[in-house]
Amino acid sequence: MTAPRLLPCGDTAISVEFGTTVDLALTARVRALDLALAAAPFPGVVETVPTYRALLVHFDPLTTETAALERHLLALVDRPAPVAHSPRRWRVPVAYGGEHGADLDEMARHSGLSPAGFIAAHAAPVYTVMMIGFLPGFAYLGGLDPRLARPRRDHPRPRVPAASVSIGGAQTAIGSVEGPSGWHLIGRTPALPFLPRRDPVFLFDAGDEICFQPVSAAEWQDLATRAAAGAFVAERLA
C-alpha cells in the first residue's frame, strides 16, 4: 500500500492524497484517516473535507506548526484504522422517468435495457456516498452497475431541479439545490439533501450508504410536500 502525498494548499490547509483515481478502496482510506484524526485531534485543525481520493485538512496557521501536523497525519495513516460505527444506511425514494427523469428512456435504450429493467438495475445496489461537493449537500455515489454508465452530456443543462438523481460517467448522484448539470437525469427524490432551516441541514455524509426505492409520481408529490415542511422522507435503515 503506497504512502499518501502531502500537498500544501496555501498556508491554511494540507491535502493528504491517496491516489489519482475514483475508487471505493481509496475513498475508504480517506475515510479511515478522517476518523483517525477525529479520534486523535491535532491542535489548530479546524475542519476536514473527505473527497474521492484525498482528505483536505484545514488548520489555523497561527496556532499550528505545519511540519508537526504533517508528521501527525502520516503517523495516523500507519496506525490501524479506528473501529468505526457501522455506516448509516438510508432508503431513498425516487420517482424515475417522466417529468422527474427526462433522460431515462434514452439511457435505457443506450444500455440495452427496457425502462423498467433500467430502473430495477439502478435501484438494486447499495451505494456508498464517496463525497459531498459541487453544490451544498450534493452526494456523489459509488457502486453503479457498469451497464448503466454513460459519458456526460455534450451540452449541459443550465438548470436542473433540486434533488435530481442522475448519472454521469461511471457514477450516479443525488443532487441538492437547483443548478447546472451535464449529467443524465433519470429521476428525482423528494428527500432534500440540503435544507437550511432543518436540523441537520445536510441529510447525507461521506461514508453513508444509499438504497433507492422506486415510487410513483403521486407518491413523490405527497412525500415532497412533507419534505418541504422539514420531515425526513428518507428512511434511516441503520
The structural domains of the chain, with segments of one domain joined by +, span: 5-78, 89-236
> How many Cα atoms are found within 13 Å in the side-chain-facing hemisphere of 81?
11
Contact 203, 194 (CB under 8 A): yes
Q: Work out the mean pLDDT of the chain and round it to a whole number.
A: 94
Which residues touch 25 (CB under 8 Å, ≥6 apart)? none
Q: Which of 235, 228, 229, 107 is nearest to 165 (CA)?
A: 107
Which pLDDT tens digit goes with each residue over 61-120? Answer: 999 999 999 999 999 997 766 655 688 999 999 999 999 999 999 999 999 999 999 999
Which residues touch 208 (CB under 8 Å, ≥6 apart)? 87, 88, 89, 90, 128, 129, 139
Which residues touch 172 (CB under 8 Å, ≥6 apart)? 122, 127, 141, 144, 148, 165, 166, 186
As a whole number of angstroms, the longest Cα–Cα distance in the chain is 59
- What's the pLDDT score for residue 83? 59
- What's the pLDDT score for residue 147? 97
pTM score of the predicted model: 0.88
Q: 89-236: which CATH topology? A: Cyclophilin (2.40.100)
**What's the pLDDT band for 199 if we cut at 50, 70, 90?**
confident
* Mean pLDDT in residue range 181-192: 97
Q: How far is CA 209 from CA 85, 146, 228, in A?
A: 13, 18, 23
- Out of 3.90.550.10, 3.40.50.300, 3.30.1360.40, 3.30.1390.10, the CATH code matching 5-78 is 3.30.1360.40
- What's the pLDDT score for residue 194? 94
Q: How far is CA 163 from CA 91, 188, 190, 193, 224, in A?
A: 15, 6, 7, 7, 10
Read off the C-alpha cell for 225: 410536500
